[in-house]
Structure 1
Amino acid sequence: MSALEERFSAALHNTARAWRLLIDRRLKGLGMSQAAWMTVTFVAKAKTPLSQSELAQKVGVEGATMVAMLDRLAAAGLIERVPSETDRRVKRVTLTPAGTELYAQVRVEANAVRRQLLAGIDPNALLAAAELLEQLQQAMDDAAP
């Protein structure tokens, strides 16, 4: 691995981790852990309700971990599990009205962090970085088994 590739991968990892931790600290007042707000965000942004296994994959956790997270979110009244119309073994996850309200609060906080951190970044540099990361994501998706 070249020094530049190593520098890039370290910067990517460290920046992503620091970004998540900063948002996590900002969302603590809402009683949300990183995994909880990521789960709520994926559910809110999905065009159609996701299954528990699809959510686990998106959040990057094992199925059992996602089930426990969804149990906590359901107990808090933030999500509902709805039986799939095509496969009765599958449960689809949707937000309750309280979950939708919480997601709106999460978005306000996350948007404030994003504006704060990106305020001094040149828009052209931001566009180039976004395109690079999207290409990298596509390469990873293509390489996945």
Structure 2
Amino acid sequence: MNYDERFSKALHMTARQWRAALDRRLRDLGMSEAAWMTIAAAAKSTPAPSQSELAQMLAVEPASMVAMIDRLTRLGFVERVPSPSDRRVKHVAVTAAGQAVYERIHQEATVFRAETLSRIDPQKLTIATEVIEQLQLIIADA
């Protein structure tokens, strides 16, 4: 396997393993990775994102996002709020119950990140971060 294939595979697998490890830590919440990622993305966004913006952030199809928002609304974790400027647009706001779930997600993610990244040389971590951020910019322009 050449270097660029190795890099691509490592990047992809690391992202998947990172989410899976965090998902294991959050298993007792009783929700899927897609559900807690949706809550986290909505909670971190100010102002509340539209459904389509949330789908873009999480790189999922709009129809999948609508179904996820429907489920989270039924569970009381998010609510749809009409846009003040466009009646066709609905924003996804996190409820108090959703905020409580997000705080747990944030806490576990912070601990996991600290535990994991503390095992990597800070200089190497800085370089890896810069490379990944540059790659994101290149991909965004592609």
Flag as ranges the 4+ runs of structure 1 deviating above 6 A: none
Partner Cα separation in structure 2 for residue 94 and residue 134 of structure 1: 28
**SS of equivalent residue, structure 1 residue 25:** helix
Kindly report which structure 2 residues correspond to 1:118-137, keeping only aligned pairs within 5 A, or say none: 118-137=117-136
**SS of equivalent residue, structure 1 residue 48:** coil
TM-score (norm 1): 0.94
**SS of equivalent residue, structure 2 residue 26:** helix
Partner Cα separation in structure 1 for residue 17 and residue 94 of structure 2: 28
- The alignment's C-alpha RMSD in Å is 1.1
TM-score (norm 2): 0.96
110-119 or 67-76, which deviates more = 110-119
Unaligned runs of 5+ in 1: none
Q: Letter of the 1:74 partner, please give it.
A: T
Deviation at 1:121, TM superposition (A): 0.8
Unaligned runs of 5+ in 2: none
The percent identity for this pair of structures is 54
Match of 2:95 in 1: 96
Work out the number of aligned pairs and report it: 142
**SS of equivalent residue, structure 1 residue 121:** coil
Partner Cα separation in structure 2 for residue 133 and residue 34 of structure 1: 23
C-alpha distance after superposition, 1:15-71 (max 9, x if no partner): 111111111111111122111111111111112111101111111111111011001
